[in-house]
């Protein structure tokens, strides 16, 4: 297992099935805060649901697909970043994130997503990375912008939450753009 130090006692590590109890406890702290912004199947209500979510990502990773990583701050799981979609064959991926309120404002998501993008573009040779967020999620759009992504478009009323349809923004960065920013 690896642990990538980010800053101030913060680490990025794989979030695996054996973390189910810790993940469930984290979701208890984060659930209502993240529910409007992440997919309904991700926000589970108990340890078994947490185990199911982690197992689903483990299976996808084993097939060289989606991947899930946790963010630990002072030894506590406070959120994470992920490849919600990952396709080496098409050369593209989608990156996402979530955080509990106590972890916001530390730059953890931007730094962790930067590490994912470095790996995707450098180690895996992908060409395109996307970021999807509700158009009213200003914090998420700000991360995409800090990562050097370009707002490419809007999917109107494509995000259903609590009986209301919301617009979804599509952001992206291409490998040459990423490399140019990193130099």
Which residues have C-beta within 8 Å of that of residue 32, sequence separation ≥ 6? none
The per-residue pLDDT for 1 is 57
Q: What are phi and psi of 24, to 5 degrees?
A: -65, -40
Q: What is the pTM of this model?
A: 0.93
Give Cα 92 to chain centroid, integer Å. 15
> Could you give all domains of the chain from N- to C-terminal order, each with its CATH number?
4-182 (3.40.630.30)
Chain segment 94-140, per-residue pLDDT in tens: 999 999 998 998 899 999 999 999 999 999 999 999 999 999 999 99
Q: Is residue 87 helix, strand or coil? A: strand
Q: Is 146 left (phi over 0), alpha (psi -120 to 50) or beta?
A: alpha
Q: Residue 15 and residue 128: Cα distance in Å, rounded?
A: 24
Residue 22's contacts (CB-CB under 8 Å, 6 or more residues apart) are 77
Q: What is the pLDDT of residue 43?
A: 85
Average confidence (pLDDT) per 10 residues, the chain, 183 residues: 84 96 93 86 88 96 96 95 96 96 92 97 97 96 97 96 95 97 86
pLDDT of 120: 98
């Amino acid at each position: 297992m690896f642990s990538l130090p980010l800053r101030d006692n913060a680490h990025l590590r794989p979030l695996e099935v054996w973390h189910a109890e810790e993940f469930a406890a984290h979701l208890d702290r984060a659930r209502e805060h993240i529910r409007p912004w992440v997919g309904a199947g991700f926000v589970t209500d108990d340890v078994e649901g947490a185990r199911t979510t982690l197992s689903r990502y483990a299976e996808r990773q084993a097939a060289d697909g989606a991947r899930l990583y946790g963010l630990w701050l002072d030894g506590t799981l406070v959120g994470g970043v992920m490849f919600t979609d990952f396709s080496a064959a098409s050369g593209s991926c989608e990156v996402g994130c979530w955080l509990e309120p106590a972890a916001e404002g530390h730059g953890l998501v931007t730094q962790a997503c930067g590490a994912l993008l470095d790996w995707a573009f450098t180690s895996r040779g992908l060409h395109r990375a996307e970021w999807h967020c509700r158009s009213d999620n200003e914090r998420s759009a700000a991360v995409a912008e800090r990562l050097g992504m370009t707002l490419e478009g809007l999917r109107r009323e494509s995000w259903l939450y609590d009986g209301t349809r919301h617009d979804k923004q599509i952001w992206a960065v291409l490998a040459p753009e990423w490399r140019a920013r990193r130099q």
